[in-house]
Structure 1
């Protein structure tokens, strides 16, 4: 793998190698050590939390090897190094790695007593995966400034069993319904008038009758989009109280089933090849005008903003998924702090920058997401992001996503994923509802 193992690594060297480490490099990375040398025979100053942070560069692992994520992390690092020119980075991305592969790399490193300084992870319940490895950063990173300016949703997700261990640096919204303006207008459908999940099904029926477009561009080759859709519809059907009861292991099976039945009804309006396409292909259908709606996280808009002649509020629009008004269903990325840290003070300085309004605006401008801080100046973000930020800061509640691991522990998430794999084969709402409620057992 192309990795600079010297303590004098520069950001230029890091980014220059951004395309070099593929999935084949994961096994090698798993045995590498931060700072100088390999996992065996390294100098004492690169091992454990007692090393000299003045000589140990920050070892940051992430899976943003291309696209908006790569641009976002580059902007964040550049801003940090301008503010802290004495602190270096020693690690390239785990390029080509899905998040699951990244977690495996981190797991291997922790088992070898060789943790990185920090890594990209979802916060919330997914933190339980490496729970014993994290350290309390309240006071050193989570100061009153962060506590006072993070809204309750992301602030709660930054804690593991009540202890602050990670810093969220962006917010992605899950409960969006995007649409192609020309298609819905041709069908005589007004997305702003929809007020419930049942209204979405009726709108799809109208679109199918009045146009040649696919009403609902959903992919089912991977279960994750269906879990996202179900959790959004469930939030609409059960309300915030029912949603919170479910993620606490006390869900109402009838409410769970009602949401699944709505998904079954929507299935009639999916693309014919839904089971063989991915998210990118489904989203492209909306962009090309061959589909009306798509339900997705706000990352779907990233593709729109990079496309000529497909402009927000003219060619495409977005509404909060009908029935979920007042809720901002959260996904986010964060950087945690490991107890056995190879660069303790430098890492804390970096995490503090990730928690700053400056760092978050730099990152989110490129990522297409929004800052978790309510005091961030978002005037440099695009109009869609500003609208999302306004919804976020005025939301009545900010529940965590089930699909993205914030709301449920890794074991429960596995059970839910298994239930939905079966659902996509049978579309049996009653049987799947029982499995989902029992996923916590």
Structure 2
């Protein structure tokens, strides 16, 4: 198959259907400095087609933005496009017939052949039809470390979780917070998920998240995770921030030694002029289990009863996966492209680590692909309660988490 030919023909079809300039409102929650720089790459590419990107950014992250987006859609005032994560977040909207079927674009573009891993297209497919376009691969499985913080403390930069814990007292003695953590539930639950995969191991993690095996939650592998998470919460004392990028800023400013956060943090490091390997280090899988969860972002397009708008929506869908746009956006975002046929020879060493893991097939599905939004919300609420309640024991949190998994859908 000649992808370039398919791309040109599909784009021509879409462009022909939207011959006039079209304004498309695009809703998303990319509002930090690095995120805003990345989404501008999409907006600039769309503007270059003669159309207009009407930016509908919502501050506060996905937990804040998703209800607003859903309300707009079911209320009859939908945007032309909106960002959700890969996975099950849009299932009910699709079932209600509120999301545009873009199977024709996916087939014309050959997405089934160029999007990797295949789980990303699976997440956009419902009853054999395609309803979204995946635009990146984001993985939670990273720890970011300030090289200067460890130099100040006189200890080596850790290469795994055990070394991180061993160096934490020296970091604290140097007046630096060992672990930066924001105040939003998704951040704490995300960090817990990283620790679960790294410390319990892939087999136990899959048993819990894929098979929904609550007995494994109560086993020794997850006991170790809950105990480690209980220890970690003490390491964040001394830093009170809410947003994830504020926690990342503490690592950039060397007032915190480390942060467990997805690879979108790299957008903040890049914006601050930080150099991977020189100013900061990165540990996939906390240095213990080098796997990436293949989460990320996708764009969905609400059904709008206007042929011109629908044609423009499909034109935008094709554009988002074009090679040039994939390189520009993901290079700025700190994420990995969903198509492996693009040139990323200039990426930094942390992104290269991610690309190497992706090429080796060292991946697992993301939680948003495995757990329903309701189950995820329950887990968020429990883990943030555990994080912020020193009186709650690891054993108590473990038992309640097992109950959530037992009822997971």
Q: Which residue of 1 aligns with 2:199?
A: 237
Residues 49-198 of structure 1 mapped to structure 2, 5 A cutoff = 53-54=18-19, 57-64=23-30, 67-82=33-48, 84-85=49-50, 88-89=51-52, 91-96=54-59, 98-132=61-95, 133-143=98-108, 145-152=110-117, 153-160=119-126, 163-185=129-151, 186-192=153-159, 194=160, 197-198=161-162
Task: Give the CA deviation at 1:224.
Answer: 2.4
Q: Is the 8 A contact 1:312 1:384 kept in 2?
A: yes
Matched, 1:321 2:285: yes
Residue from 346, 352, 361 that aligns with 2:327: 361
Separation in 1, partners of 2:138, 2:121: 15
Flag the 1:356–1:205 CA change in 2: closer, same or farther, 3 A. Answer: same
Q: Which residue of 1 aligns with 2:311?
A: 345
Alignment length, in residue pairs? 377
Alignment root-mean-square deviation, CA: 2.9
Flag the 1:240–1:340 CA change in 2: closer, same or farther, 3 A. Answer: farther
Task: Give the CA deviation at 1:235.
Answer: 0.7
Separation in 1, partners of 2:181, 2:61: 21
Q: Which residue of 2 aligns with 1:3?
A: none
Task: Give the CA deviation at 1:187.
Answer: 3.6
Secondary structure of the residue aligned to 1:272 is coil
Task: Give the CA deviation at 1:198.
Answer: 3.9
Mark the runs of 5 or more structure 1 residues left unpaired by the alignment: 1-51
Matched, 1:259 2:225: yes
Task: Give the CA deviation at 1:262.
Answer: 0.7
Task: Give the CA deviation at 1:102.
Answer: 3.5
The 10-residue stretch of structure 1 (141-150 or 428-437) with the greater mean CA deviation from structure 2? 141-150
Residue from 289, 314, 317 that aligns with 2:254: 289
**Which is richer in strand?**
2
Task: Give the CA deviation at 1:318.
Answer: 1.0
Separation in 1, partners of 2:403, 2:287: 26
Matched, 1:200 2:167: no
Separation in 2, partners of 1:101, 1:279: 14
Flag the 1:245–1:139 CA change in 2: closer, same or farther, 3 A. Answer: farther
Q: Is the 8 A contact 1:181 1:314 kept in 2?
A: yes
Matched, 1:305 2:267: no
Q: What TM-score, normalized to structure 1? A: 0.75
Separation in 1, partners of 2:260, 2:147: 15
Flag the 1:323–1:430 CA change in 2: closer, same or farther, 3 A. Answer: farther
Flag the 1:272–1:98 CA change in 2: closer, same or farther, 3 A. Answer: closer
Separation in 2, partners of 1:269, 1:202: 12
Task: Give the CA deviation at 1:256.
Answer: 3.3
Q: Is the 8 A contact 1:127 1:160 kept in 2?
A: no
Task: Give the CA deviation at 1:352.
Answer: 1.4
Matched, 1:375 2:375: no
Mark the runs of 5 or more structure 2 residues left unpaired by the alignment: 1-16
Separation in 1, partners of 2:57, 2:280: 34
Matched, 1:332 2:296: yes
Flag the 1:75–1:280 CA change in 2: closer, same or farther, 3 A. Answer: closer
Secondary structure of the residue aligned to 1:191 is coil
Secondary structure of the residue aligned to 1:119 is strand
Q: Is the 8 A contact 1:329 1:399 kept in 2?
A: yes
Task: Give the CA deviation at 1:277.
Answer: 5.4
**Which is richer in helix?**
2
Q: Is the 8 A contact 1:118 1:335 kept in 2?
A: yes
